[in-house]
């Protein structure tokens, strides 16, 4: 039990350092869920009732890889937290990558940057979830399939 408290405090500290945001971990829903060959996720609930997923992987990952892992867990990401609280991070990196690929072309809109945002380096990752579809799934590294780790349902109320 005490080890879990230390793990929760370490998670809060890591989120503060890596994303420059304060989140109080009220309850861990699923701890150290494997979501890839070298990646683990922790799903937790904050004091104000929001559900988050924190993913840490060995090696490099990109935003699109992390989103795919979250969706494979049967979760729907609502908000992506940029590293170090840099709100312009994904847009800035996408613009740099676009300019390297097309040095003479001007960016005309979001459609030009969509792909380059998806390949922005992003490890570790932090998402606030909009929905958990009845269960949280984890990747079984032995059989290479996704399996249920825990029954859990969550959904935010969306205004029309």
CATH topology of domain 2-85+121-151: Phosphorylase Kinase; domain 1 (3.30.200)
pLDDT in tens, 78-121: 999 999 999 999 999 999 999 999 988 888 888 888 999 999 99
pLDDT at 160 over 60: no
Residue 52, beta-bridge partner list: 44, 128
DSSP 27: E
Token pair for 116: 């380059």
Task: Evaluate whether 117 touches 99 at the Cβ level (below 8 Å).
Answer: no
**For the chain, domain boundaries:** 2-85+121-151
pLDDT at 45 over 90: yes
- Split at pLDDT 50, 70, 90, the class of 20 is very high
Torsion angle (degrees, nearest 10) of CA 29, 30, 35, 41: 70
E strand or H helix at 77:
strand 75-80
pLDDT in tens, 46-74: 999 999 999 999 989 999 999 999 999 99
Q: Which of 2, 82, 68 is nearest to 39 (CA)?
A: 68
């Amino acid at each position: 039990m005490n080890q879990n408290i230390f793990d929760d405090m370490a998670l809060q500290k890591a989120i503060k350092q890596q994303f420059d945001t304060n989140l109080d971990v009220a309850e861990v829903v699923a701890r150290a869920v494997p979501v890839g060959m070298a990646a683990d996720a922790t799903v937790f609930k904050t004091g104000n009732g929001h559900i988050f997923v924190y993913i840490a992987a060995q090696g490099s990952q990109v935003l699109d890889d992390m989103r795919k892992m979250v969706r494979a867990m049967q979760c729907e990401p609502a908000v992506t937290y940029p590293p170090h609280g840099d709100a312009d991070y994904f847009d800035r990196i996408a613009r740099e990558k676009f300019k390297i690929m097309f040095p003479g072309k001007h960016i005309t809109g979001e459609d030009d940057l969509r792909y380059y945002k998806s390949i922005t380096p992003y490890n570790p990752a932090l998402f606030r979830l909009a929905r958990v579809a009845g269960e949280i799934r984890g990747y079984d590294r032995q059989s290479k399939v996704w399996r249920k780790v825990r029954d859990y349902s969550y959904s935010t109320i969306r205004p029309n």
